[in-house]
Amino acid sequence: MEVQKRALLEAALFQANKPLTLEEIAQVVALPQDEIERSLDELAAELRAEHRGVEILEVEGKYEMRVKPAHVQKVAHLTPHADLSRGLLKVLSMIVYKQPITQSDIVKTIGNRAYDYVKELTDRGLVRAEKHGRTKRLELTEQFMTYFGIRSRNDLIEMFRKQEADEAQAAPPTPSTDEKINGEDGVREVS
Amino acid sequence: MEVQKRALLEAALFQANKPLTLEEIAQVVALPQDEIERSLDELAAELRAEHRGVEILEVEGKYEMRVKPAHVQKVAHLTPHADLSRGLLKVLSMIVYKQPITQSDIVKTIGNRAYDYVKELTDRGLVRAEKHGRTKRLELTEQFMTYFGIRSRNDLIEMFRKQEADEAQAAPPTPSTDEKINGEDGVREVS
Amino acid sequence: MRITIDEAGIVDLASKEASWEEVLEYVIHEEGMDPWDIDVVKLADAFRTYVERLGTLDFKVPARLIIIAAALLHLKAEVLILEEEQKAAAAAQAGPPIDLSKIPELQVPVKRAPTRRVTLDELVGALEKAFRTQERRAGRIDRARERVEEVVGTEEQFDVMKKIDELFVRINDVVERLHSGTMPFSSLVPRWERKEIVQSLLGILHISNDGRVELQQEEPFKEIYVKIVEGNAREEKKSEEEHIDENEFVDVPDETPPQRKEEKPK
């Protein structure tokens, strides 16, 4: 790939605020998709070097440049916009907690919005939905583990238990955790 | 700079939604500011390579990673567009081009709307207004420079010149340029 | 007036122990020379010739000459600046108003809107919240059940059907006493105690649900009014107790006045 096109590829991934399809990249870079795929692989390999802070993430055929999970926590405060809304996070946490859980269980708790949330989570590859009678059984995917940079759901539950234990000892939880997330519900929930 | 910190520096610049001060970077990377400055210089030098699509811009002591100007137009559509209305832009360009200019000069040209525009621009910190007889003398602020990613007003005048030259040569200006601007006047002007 | 002095003459003057002010005054006033016309370069040349001719050097002379040259330069510079300012002022006044119509338009800078991943902390926070909500919900149900049982007793202890019967007896008593189909709920509660109130309320809610009474409450926590729905008063209750009698009356209409019933036992 000639240098100019390589620069354009980087510029496109840097500029985009959503994952890009190969077609979208091809429009910018003006190259056949297989060549772009090859260049993306090359770029991804370069970014794997330890001194690089970002990575290329491929989810369901879409490509995205992201801060590596190991650094997310340290730079998260530099932008207020998380890529998962509060509603999505809520549904996700229900699945983490109760997996395997069905879609209808979630509908019972948060109402019809659940259908949209589950769809978005499966579209983004964070959750797998399998037919289960009249509803769907929901499970976390590998992609979910990658997103949060963890190896298994147990890691998470462990963290959660530890935090709970800490909090039981210490002061009440800080509200800041919630505020950082873009609430699409508009209102902050009172807990 | 050790590899981990170097990665964090990149992650911070990538993640931030505004230019960062050395202090802000230092908080993330946990290094003295002079060392960060050196690393920023190194990174900036690397990015100057032709196959890289982004660059580091320093304006008024704040650092920002952005797409190189040469590639901006090709990737601009991948990001939601900016938040300056057409009217505000018009007033801003008058100030850029004719600074120092007075509010009454602008009122003479575009009428009473000018007062609102000037107020909004000063509220947003892009323009400074100082009493000047019965009117106000208007000047661009540092924040304006940061927002537009330029080091001085001359950069812009140069851009204008170039743009004019391009337009004189080429076909009528592409409509995409205009459409990117949120017209609060509702109607697109015919040029 | 004819000017007779030149740059060499000025050097001569300066060498004759006059102060620099005196030299300039003489040149301008006596000789009528415009300081603008004194060529500083020629002055320097004349001075060099003078020094060469002299062989020795009195330092007072060059000092005076340097001051004279500097003063001339200063004067000339001031004139130039003044001229420039006047020109600019004239241009500003006479010139047309600034033409703002043909200014090229700025382009909005292309900004990124970087989003970030949700952090692990945030996920754990959400998890915690989900957990708490669940716990709270479960807790709420348990606590509510406990409280109900505390007051009304467990299901086995509290027989709602029995309570309904009791309530009907009371309702009819009130109707008979007051000759009215509407009564306050408080009049139906045997003792104004928590347990009695709740059990009576449950009973009356059942009766209301069956459509046999209507309940009305104008404000929360105020009196509830119980109104018997047409055809549900003692007659209906009686219909079970005095079933046979009633049927007799139906069979014997008109001639049989109701009071006969009371006279009968006599």
One DSSP character per residue, B123-144 reads HTTSEEEEEETTEEEEEE-HHH
- Best of C98, C107, C118, C119 to disrupt the B interface (most B CBs within 10 Å) is C107
Tell me: the pLDDT tens digits for C58-80? Answer: 777 777 778 888 888 888 888 88
Residue B21: pLDDT band (50, 70, 90) is very high
The β-bridge relationship of strands A20-21 and A62-67 is antiparallel
Q: Output phi, psi for C180, to 5 deg.
A: -145, 145
Cα distance between residue A18 and residue C208, in whole Å: 59
- Do C199 and C148 contact (CB within 8 A), yes or no? no
Q: For the stretch A115-138, what's the b/e string if a residue is b when 16 or more beta carbons lie within 10 angstroms of its beta carbon?
A: eebbebbbebbbbbbeeeeeebbb
Cα distance between residue B171 and residue C164, in whole Å: 91
pLDDT at residue A173 is higher than 80: no
Q: Which of C39, C44, C7, C13 is nearest to C26 (CA)?
A: C13
Cα distance between residue C81 and residue C69, in whole Å: 18
Q: Are C124 and A17 within 8 A, CB to CB? A: no
Which DSSP string corresponds to A68-96? Answer: -HHHHHHHGGG-S-BSS-HHHHHHHHHHH
Minimal Cβ distance to A79: which of C114, C122, C124? C114
pLDDT at residue C255 is higher than 60: no
Tell me: the pLDDT tens digits for B95-144? Answer: 988 878 899 889 888 888 889 999 999 988 899 999 888 889 999 998 88
Q: Which of A11, A157, A184, A187 is nearest to A82 (CA)?
A: A184
- Crossing angle, helix A3-15 and helix A33-47, to 10 degrees? 70
Cα distance between residue A97 and residue A120, in whole Å: 19
Q: Which of B47, C113, B64 is nearest to A52 (CA)?
A: B47
Domains in chain A (CATH in brackets) are 3-67 (1.10.10.10), 78-170 (1.10.10.10)
Radius of gyration of the CA atoms of chain B, in A? 19
pLDDT at B174: 45
pLDDT at C45: 80
B108 contacts on C by Cβ (under 8 Å): 97, 100
* SS3 state of residue B67: strand
Residue C264: pLDDT band (50, 70, 90) is very low
Ranking A51-65, A150-164, B161-175 by mean pLDDT, the lowest is B161-175
Task: Summarize the confidence of residues A167-177 as an average pLDDT.
Answer: 57
Domain with CATH 1.10.10.580 in chain C: 160-241
Which residue carries 């300056």 as its tokens? Answer: B84
Ranking C12-16, C189-193, C239-243 by mean pLDDT, the lowest is C239-243
Q: Which of A154, A78, A157, A94 is nearest to A126 (CA)?
A: A94
Q: Which of C151, C152, C149, C177 is nearest to C162 (CA)?
A: C152
Minimal Cβ distance to A10: which of B6, B17, B52? B52
Residue C89: pLDDT band (50, 70, 90) is low
Cα distance between residue C117 and residue B5, in whole Å: 20
pLDDT at residue B185 is higher than 70: no
pLDDT at B82: 65
Task: Summarize the confidence of residues C233-251 as an average pLDDT.
Answer: 41
Residue A49: pLDDT band (50, 70, 90) is very high
pLDDT at C52: 77
**Touching check for C109 and chain B: CB below 8 Å?**
yes
**Continuous segment of H or E residues that includes residue B63:** strand B62-67
Minimal Cβ distance to C117: which of A66, A97, A189? A66
Mean per-residue pLDDT of chain C: 74
Looking at chain C, the whole-number percentage of residues with pLDDT higher than 70 is: 76
Which residue carries 């006596």 as its tokens? Answer: C30
Ranking B68-82, C110-124, C140-154 by mean pLDDT, the lowest is C140-154
Task: Check residues A121 and C251 and name the one with the higher pLDDT.
Answer: A121
Predicted complex ipTM: 0.66
Q: State both tokens at C93.
A: 């006044």
- Tell me the H-state helices in chain A: 3-15, 22-29, 33-47, 69-75, 86-98, 103-110, 113-123, 142-148, 153-169, 176-179
Q: Are B94 and C100 within 8 A, CB to CB? A: yes
Q: Which residue of B has its CA nearest to C97?
A: B105
**Touching check for C97 and chain B: CB below 8 Å?**
yes
How many CA atoms lie within 13 Å of C229's alpha carbon, on the beta-carbon side?
A: 10
* SS3 state of residue B48: coil
Tell me: the pLDDT tens digits for C169-227? Answer: 888 888 888 778 888 898 888 888 888 888 888 889 988 888 888 998 888 888 899 98
Cα distance between residue A181 and residue A82, in whole Å: 6
Minimal Cβ distance to A79: which of B4, B9, B15? B15
**Touching check for C253 and chain B: CB below 8 Å?**
no
User: DSSP label at A5?
Assistant: H
- Do A145 and A152 contact (CB within 8 A), yes or no? yes
Q: Are B180 and C106 within 8 A, CB to CB? A: no
pLDDT at A182: 42
How many CA atoms lie within 13 Å of B17's alpha carbon, on the beta-carbon side?
A: 16
Q: Are C125 and A173 within 8 A, CB to CB? A: yes
Residue C156: pLDDT band (50, 70, 90) is low
Cα distance between residue A162 and residue B13, in whole Å: 32
C107 contacts on B by Cβ (under 8 Å): 163, 177, 180-181
Q: Are B14 and C114 within 8 A, CB to CB? A: yes
pLDDT at residue A63 is higher than 50: yes
Integer CA distances (angstroms), A88 to A115, A126, A181, in order = 11, 11, 10
Integer CA distances (angstroms), C156 to C153, C159, C164, C201, C203, in order = 8, 7, 16, 18, 16
**Continuous segment of H or E residues that includes residue A58:** strand A54-59
Task: Check residues C52 and A78 and name the one with the higher pLDDT.
Answer: A78
Q: Are A53 and B6 within 8 A, CB to CB? A: yes
**Touching check for C92 and chain B: CB below 8 Å?**
no
* SS3 state of residue C109: coil
A50: phi > 0 → left, psi -120 to 50 → alpha, else beta; which? alpha
B163 contacts on C by Cβ (under 8 Å): 104, 107
> Which range in B30-34, C10-14, C110-114 is most confidently predicted, on average pLDDT?
B30-34
Minimal Cβ distance to B10: which of A11, A20, A53? A53
Cis peptide before B19 (omega within 30 of 0): no
CA distance C135 to chain A (A): 12
Task: Summarize the confidence of residues A181-189 as an average pLDDT.
Answer: 38
How many CA atoms lie within 13 Å of C127's alpha carbon, on the beta-carbon side?
A: 24
pLDDT at C160: 82
Task: Summarize the confidence of residues A11-27 as an average pLDDT.
Answer: 93
Task: Check residues A55 and B190 and name the one with the higher pLDDT.
Answer: A55
Which residue carries 């600046």 as its tokens? Answer: C81
pLDDT at residue A28 is higher than 50: yes
Tell me: the pLDDT tens digits for B139-172? Answer: 999 888 878 878 787 887 777 777 677 767 765 5
Return the CATH fold of C160-241.
Arc Repressor Mutant, subunit A (1.10.10)
Q: State both tokens at B11.
A: 């992650």
What strands, in cross-sheet order, belong to the sheet with A135-140?
A: A101-102, A135-140, A127-132
pLDDT at C261: 40
A48 contacts on B by Cβ (under 8 Å): none
Integer CA distances (angstroms), A106 to A111, C13, C124, C144, in order = 7, 108, 18, 24
**Contacting partners of chain A (3+ CB pairs under 8 A):** B, C
Q: Are A75 and B12 within 8 A, CB to CB? A: yes
Nearest-10 Cα torsion for B117, B120, B126, B130: 80
Tell me: the pLDDT tens digits for B36-71? Answer: 999 999 999 999 999 999 999 988 889 999 999 889
Q: Which residue of A has its CA nearest to B8?
A: A53
Tell me: the pLDDT tens digits for B68-108? Answer: 988 988 998 898 766 788 888 889 988 988 878 899 889 88
Mean per-residue pLDDT of chain A: 85
Q: Are C127 and A177 within 8 A, CB to CB? A: no
